[in-house]
Structure 1
Amino acid sequence: MSYLGVGVSPGNVPVYHGTFLKVVDRRIRVVELILRCVICGLGVLAAVLVGTDSQVKEIFTIRKTARFTDMKALVFLVIANGIAATYSLLQGVRCVVGMFKGSLLFNKPLAWAIFSGDQVMAYLTVAAVAAAAQSAAFAKMGQPELQWMKLCDMYGKFCNQVGEGIASALLVSLSMVVLSCISAFSLFRLYGGIKSKNGGR
């Protein structure tokens, strides 16, 4: 049975085809392109905010400079967001080319490659944000039991800019998680379509 371009597979899983499939696919492509542009822009912003951040402080005539390289978690954050931005730029170009060429459906190898890449990027960006946020919490609140000072009391400007970078990186990671769901939908939809054809024989 089918209606409004929607078929029902033997497992009662809706499978879209025809004109309705094209409309759904175009909307997914537009959302994907927007998210990849957002990730590219915010990824670059996060990397620049954290990577260019520094503050000089004089302590008893001794000049100390706080840089992002002093915390390995921030180095990881900069690298992860740089990779995510580059990856999203390349995938965004693919989306634009696909729209102009009018190709609506993925083939399986390409769908698997996109799905795998998006999954890796999602895990990478989430891990980077989690590590940076933990280090930022220690810098902000200190750890008296381990005699760790509240470094943000000394380097306020540095911490504020790092906080802005982490906020941008958080949006990148959330967008990557949404993208990984979209790529999973695009991948498994192909298999759903095959099941529907086999079930109709």
Structure 2
Amino acid sequence: METPRVKPGFNGGVASSLDGSSRRAGYMGGIGAADRSKAAAPVDSCGVALRVFVLAATLVAAVVMGVDRQTRTIQITLADTLPPLQVPVTAKWSYSSAFVYFVVVNAMVCLFSAAALATCRRRGAVVPVMVGDLLALALLFSAVGAAAEFGILGERGNSHVRWAKVCNVYGSFCERAMAAVIVSLLAAFANLVMLMLTILTIHKSSSYY
């Protein structure tokens, strides 16, 4: 019988192809591409706890700052011969663009954290959630910085531009605003730790390292 002729390199190509596919199957745990997107990812209890904390902290910060308001009555003397006028004045978070930005950012991060918790079992959502965490981290730190700067200005004033301090008049308003800023700062650090843990987990489970 005549031995079937095979083109040179054909067997080697088939063998290498089969070997490569088997290696890819080994890397992916034998799950197809369609099945991998639907397969449930393992839940990291520490990451879930940190995300729940971020959700709760940003919600508290947004609510505390959003309801922050104080009305005081001050005396204005127009002339020495006239009795002083009693004028009610109000401090409200919406009067400051820094506080408005603070409330909006914390509300956005709270909603994002809720959406991320709802998709924590989906493997395909890992990369979008990481990108969202990076944006949330940047927004939180910028909002905390803006609100803290405005709070320090209200606490100490600025003699160079003749801006008087107002926290000696609106003490309760400034205290609640400070509490909201501190809670939001804790949420930002928790978000940072959560993102670092996610990056370390992906680094350890990667087949390239």
- Give TM-score, length-normalised by structure 1: 0.73
1:124 aligns with 2:139: yes
Verify the 8 A CA contact 1:66 1:155 in the aligned structure 2.
yes
Q: Secondary structure at the match of 1:151?
A: coil
Decide which structure has greater helix share.
1
Highest RCO, 1 vs 2 (Cα 8 Å, sep ≥ 6):
1
**Cα deviation, residue 176, structure 1:** 1.2
**Where in structure 2 are the equivalents of 1:121-200 lying within 5 Å?**
121-189=136-204, 192-193=206-207, 195=208
**Cα deviation, residue 186, structure 1:** 4.1
Q: Give the partner amino acid of 1:69.
A: S
Which sections of structure 2, spanning at least 5 residues, go unmatched?
1-28, 30-40, 76-85
CA distance in 1, matches of 2:195, 2:54: 13
Where does residue 89 of structure 2 map in the other structure?
64
**Cα deviation, residue 37, structure 1:** 0.7
Q: Give CA-to-partner distance per residue, 1:72-116, whole Å, 9 cap, x none.
A: 111111111111111111112223xx2xxxx7xx35xx3321211
Alignment partner for residue 94 of structure 1, among 119, 123, 128? 119
1:45 aligns with 2:60: yes
Q: Secondary structure at the match of 2:164?
A: coil
CA distance in 1, matches of 2:116, 2:55: 10
Verify the 8 A CA contact 1:115 1:187 in the aligned structure 2.
no
Q: Give CA-to-partner distance per residue, 1:28-75, whole Å, 9 cap, x none.
A: 711111011101111111011110010001223222110001111111
**Cα deviation, residue 183, structure 1:** 3.0
1:76 aligns with 2:128: no
Which sections of structure 1, spanning at least 5 residues, go unmatched?
1-17, 19-24, 197-201
Alignment partner for residue 85 of structure 1, among 82, 89, 110? 110
CA distance in 2, matches of 1:161, 1:54: 9
Q: Secondary structure at the match of 1:184?
A: helix
CA distance in 2, matches of 1:76, 1:58: 28
**Cα deviation, residue 177, structure 1:** 1.2
Where does residue 5 of structure 1 map in the other structure?
none
Verify the 8 A CA contact 1:111 1:183 in the aligned structure 2.
no
CA RMSD of aligned residues (A): 2.2
CA distance in 1, matches of 2:200, 2:137: 15
**Cα deviation, residue 145, structure 1:** 1.1
CA distance in 2, matches of 1:38, 1:151: 33
Where does residue 34 of structure 1 map in the other structure?
49
